[in-house]
Amino acid sequence: MGVEGPGRVFLLGFMGAGKSTVARKLADSWGVNWLDTDRLIEDMVDLSIPEIFEKEGKPAFRKLEKRAVRKAILMEVSVIALGGGAPLEDESWRLINDYGTTFYLQVSPREARDRIGEEERPLLEGLSEKEKLEEIKELLAEREDRYREADFIVPTVDRSPSEVAAEISEIVEDRHGKTFRFSG
Ligand code: S3P
């Protein structure tokens, strides 16, 4: 009998939650591959995320994101950092749950705002400081129910990415033992 594993590990949550940083740390410590669906989308169309929003619009981006989730699941990657909006698409969400274990990296609106800093984020484009925070609060409130459907909720405020990664490792090892293997 093979060693049971978590399937793929999916990290989800709002922009600024630290999904990619934590994904990289987990993959490094487990010696497996990881990817970020935003980077996959950029590779698929050879445009940056802001360029896609600008040239093709949000609905086109969401379609690409849906394709990227399907594609990521077929690839040899064990840890997948999902774009903030990816879990909202019902078909993607079903697929994600069929193929692995989900971790919601929880961040407060204020902390998300601080971590995003001056990075370009299409959803916050053209907004004043005050409006950005309001928009983050609204989007997070709209999304929170879906995010909370994740298998595990991991707080990230006042914690380093290494601490967050350590908690996820512990959860996976508690469930599957230290010698678990990734499947799929
Ligand atoms: C988005 C989050 C971004 C990116 C796009 C839209 C969202 O990804 O996919 O700007 O809808 O929350 P990150 O969560 O990786 O920043």
Query: Tell me, what's the pLDDT at 3?
Result: 58
49 lines ligand 1 (CB under 6 A): yes
Q: What is the pLDDT along the chain (184 residues), one digit of tens a residue?
A: 445 788 999 999 999 999 999 999 999 999 999 999 999 999 999 999 999 999 999 999 999 999 999 999 999 999 999 999 999 999 999 999 999 999 999 999 999 999 998 888 999 999 999 999 999 999 999 999 999 999 999 999 999 999 999 999 999 999 988 878 886 5
| Residue whose CA is at the smallest distance from ligand 1 atom 2 | 84
84 lines ligand 1 (CB under 6 A): yes
83 lines ligand 1 (CB under 6 A): yes
Query: Tell me, what's the pLDDT at 184?
Result: 56
Distance between CA 26 and CA 170 in Å, rounded? 11
80 lines ligand 1 (CB under 6 A): no
Query: Tell me, what's the pLDDT at 85?
Result: 98
CA of 85 to the centre of ligand 1 (A): 6
| Residue whose CA is at the smallest distance from ligand 1 atom 4 | 83
Query: Tell me, what's the pLDDT at 66?
Result: 98
Assess contact for 181 and 31: CB atoms under 8 A.
no
The helix (run of H) or strand (run of E) holding residue 133 is helix 129-147
**Strand bridging mode 100-106 / 34-36:** unpaired
Pocket test for ligand 1, best of 24, 105, 123, 142 (most atoms within 8 A of CB): 123
Distance between CA 178 and CA 143 in Å, rounded? 33
